[in-house]
Amino acid sequence: MNKSKNTFLFTTHLLLSFFTIHFSLFSQTNEKRFFLGITTGITGGQVHGDNYSGYKKLGFTTGLFVHYKWYQNVIPQIGISYIQKGARKNPDSTDLSQYLLRLHFIEIPTNIKFLFLKKKLFITIGHSIGYLFNYYEEVNYLNTTQLVKNNRFELSINTGFGYQINNKINIELRANNAYTPFRNFAFPTNIYYNNPIARIFNKGLYNNILEFILTYHIYAETKE
CATH number of the structural domain spanning residue 107: 2.40.160.20
Residue 124 lies in a domain: yes
Q: What pLDDT, on a 0 to 100 scale, did the predictor assign at position 221?
A: 47
Q: What pLDDT, on a 0 to 100 scale, did the predictor assign at position 25?
A: 43
Q: What pLDDT, on a 0 to 100 scale, did the predictor assign at position 12?
A: 58
Residue 188 lies in a domain: yes
Residue 6 lies in a domain: yes
Residue 224 lies in a domain: no
Query: Minimal CA–CA distance to 162: which of 122, 127, 126?
Result: 122
Q: What pLDDT, on a 0 to 100 scale, did the predictor assign at position 8?
A: 59
Q: Work out the number of other CB atoms within 10 angstroms of the CB of residue 78.
A: 16
- Can you give the length of the chain in residues? 224
Q: How many domains, the chain?
A: 1
Whether residue 105 contacts residue 82, with contact meaning beta carbons closer than 8 Å, is answered with yes
Could you list the residue range(s) of the whole structural domain that residue 34 is in? 2-217
- What is the pTM for the complete model shown? 0.80
Residue 133 lies in a domain: yes
Residue 222 lies in a domain: no
Q: What pLDDT, on a 0 to 100 scale, did the predictor assign at position 70?
A: 74
Beta bridge partners of 157: 127, 177
Residue 153 lies in a domain: yes
**pLDDT per position in the chain (224 positions), as tens?**
455 555 555 555 555 555 554 444 444 444 557 788 999 999 999 999 888 888 999 999 999 999 887 777 899 999 999 999 999 999 988 889 999 999 999 999 999 999 998 889 999 999 999 999 999 999 999 999 989 899 999 999 999 999 999 988 999 999 999 999 999 987 666 665 566 666 666 788 999 999 999 999 886 444 44
Residue 37 lies in a domain: yes
- Show the beta-strand stretches assigned E in the chain: 34-48, 57-68, 74-89, 99-116, 121-139, 142-143, 153-164, 169-178, 183-184, 204-217
